[in-house]
Each structure stands twice: as C-alpha cells, then as structure tokens.
Structure 1
Amino acid sequence: SSHTHPTLAFHGSALRYAITNLQMPAMSPTMTEGGISQWKKKEGEEFSAGDVLLEVETDKATIDVEAQDDGIMGKIILPDGAKNVPVGKVIALLAEEGDDISNLQPPKEDSTPSKKEKEPTPPPPSKPKPQETKAQPPLSEPASKSASKHPKHSRPLFPSVLRLLQSSNIENPESIKGTGVRGMLTKGDVLAHLGKASSPTGTYK
C-alpha cells in the first residue's frame, strides 16, 4: 500500500507536514490587531480556494478572509467574537484533505516568548570611547607650532600680506603704518615700506 512508501518516513509524520497555521491577517498597512466576527467554516469542514473562511472585524469594517488553497478546517483556536487579536497570531489550523484532524494541537506559542525575552542582552560595546579622547589632543599641537612661524604681530593680517611679509623677511610688521580698515596692513603698505628700505638715499627714482 502507499502507506509503506519510503518518502513518508522522511517527514516522520505525514499529518504534521500538511498542517498550515492560519494567522490573523493584516487587512490594512496600519492594522495591528483585529477581532473574529464569525467563522464561516466549522472544524472538519472542507473548503476550496476562494471560499470565505471567516469574517475579521477591524476598527473600520468587517472583512471576509478567503482561503488561499483547498483544504479542511482542522482546528479553530480562537472562537467567534474573539477581540484584540494581534496580527500574525495563529487563529486556526488548516489541514489537507485526507489528514487525520482528530488530534491536532495548536502551536505552542506561550512557551516561546519567555525564551525570546532573555536573549537580547548585549549592551557593553562602549569600550572604543577612551581611544577617541586619546586621539584628540595632538590635533592642537601642530597648530601652535605653525603659528610660531608667522611674523609677530598683534593686528590681524590678510593672508596675502602675511605671505609678502614672510617672503620679504620682515619680522616686525608693527613698524609699518597700516592704511587699511582699522589700521590693517595692506600689500601696498608693505610694498611702500620695502620701497623705502631698498632706497635709503631717497635719490633713487
């Protein structure tokens, strides 16, 4: 007989293999829970794809839930009138034609959540912080070193004026009279100063 076919031994039990969990469907993207208005099929009753299995109540409407495939209503877990059923909760077990549904067991949902709660406890990845603080102080050192290379001055200088002072080896720009805004040095001031310095006699034209 077909019962001695070797492939059946693979599944351990052909009964288990065919059972489908019918879960509370999400009737809208925002739906998180619903109610079971009425089952349209009784336990042991056959149905075809497209048959209405039950009516689900949402906060807006009552909606028919249709079967996706042919099968048998194996076990109704949540009865008519069940309220606040979360989306994804198993509300019934569907079987296939020819299955023995007399000893169907609802899925053991209650024992699994306690295990899941204990798992998420990895909060100590806070070691990299000390390394960050060590890397910061050296950043300020090069700035102070490079500042010492600039000519001594108490007034702010334009970058172009600074470069001119450095290239002309003028170390004391304070001696040059600035004609710019708030007495700031301009390139013209520096060039005029250089002009005077390079023609000490004043006869040079």
Structure 2
Amino acid sequence: MTDRELKRFPDHKFGQAFTTIKCECLSYLPWLQKRFRKAGGQVQQRKVNSLQELSDSYDIIVNCSGLGSKGLVGDTEVYPVRGQVLKVEAPWLQHFIRDGDGKTYIYPGMHSVTVGGTRQEGDWRLQGDEEDTKGILARCSRLEPSLSKAKVLSEWVGLRPCRRNPRVEWELVQLQGRRVPVIHNYGHGGWGVTLAWGTALDTVGLVRQCLQEMPLQAKL
C-alpha cells in the first residue's frame, strides 16, 4: 500500500492491496448441491452414529463429517475453532479490509457486509456471545470508522473443523464382517472453501484407486 493509503490505518506500518474473489456460501453451496443432483447424485439427511450403520448399503464410504469425525471414526486430533461474525448494513463499503492478526476483518457481500471475528480453539459454543459482538464492532470500527453507523442485521456462529493436517487418505475398515474402503476428507479448518476443490479431486482419485483394487480383492 502507498503511504497515502496507509494514513487510513494509523496503527499499521505495512499493508497490501490486491484484487480477489469472495465466495458467497449461502448461494454457492445450494448451487453445488444442484450440480450434484443433476449428475445423478442423491441426497439423504439422516444421523449416522457409526460406520457400521452403513455397512449393508455401500461398498465405499467417503467420510466428510468434519468435527463429527471425532466420534464417528474416533479421531482425537480434530477440534473446533469457534468463529463469530456479524452481518451489518453498510452498502457504502465496496472494499474488504483485513487486519494482520486474521481476527479482524470487513468483507462486503452481495446483500450485507460481514464483520468479524473470533478464533477460539476448543470452544464448542454455538450461541452468540455479547462480549464477542462488542469486541468485533470495536475492532472493525477502528479499521473503518463509518461502521459505527451501520445497522447490525444478524449474528452468526460456526465451528471450524480443525486438525493439525487435513486428513485425506483411505483405509480398510471391518464393517459387519466385510472390509470396506473408507476415504477420509476432513479437517480443513477455516480454509474449507479454499481447499475444497483440490482435496475433492484427491478424494476422487482415491475412490478410483479403490474401485480398481476391489475386483482383485474379490478374486482372492
């Protein structure tokens, strides 16, 4: 950033400016599901407490259960990082601003502006926290004073499914007397959208590998 641009942020000595894209997940995820259905995929909504419940119905299982993998496959390395953000009405903001610590950011969107946030490791709370809300508004208003005039539209809390390393691998699991390939794809943390296509392609490659090897196992 230029010296003139940095004058907007007197507490900062360095900054970067660049052009990128912002994914609106409230629109993006339904679009992905629609694409999946058009390709012949089926969607069922149900609670699965154990992989054993799927043993009679599927020859290959792809586990994308995120934080659910802690109980579903006994992965003690996965943990939540709580995030809280606010949606505010500030149509005059056209550019994103993000502090270097990654906890303070302002992201204009199609219908509102997202301001945040928090990164609270090991915190399972899904309820909004009033102190977090005050802190978010205070920090973001220091970066962009005009936010003090913005109307808060909503509050949102989510849990990032974190792991030291995302798990993208496969294993054979004994289910009801059968050895079933289980491909794992979870632990992306706060980078799910960023890593999704790459890890999905890796997962598809593992599924194809399993399909190639399954006939050989059957002959044995």
**TM-score exceeds 0.5:** no
TM-score under structure 1 length normalisation: 0.20
Structure whose residues are more often strand by fraction: 2
Q: Which structure ranks higher in relative contact order (CA pairs < 8 Å, sequence separation ≥ 6)?
A: 2
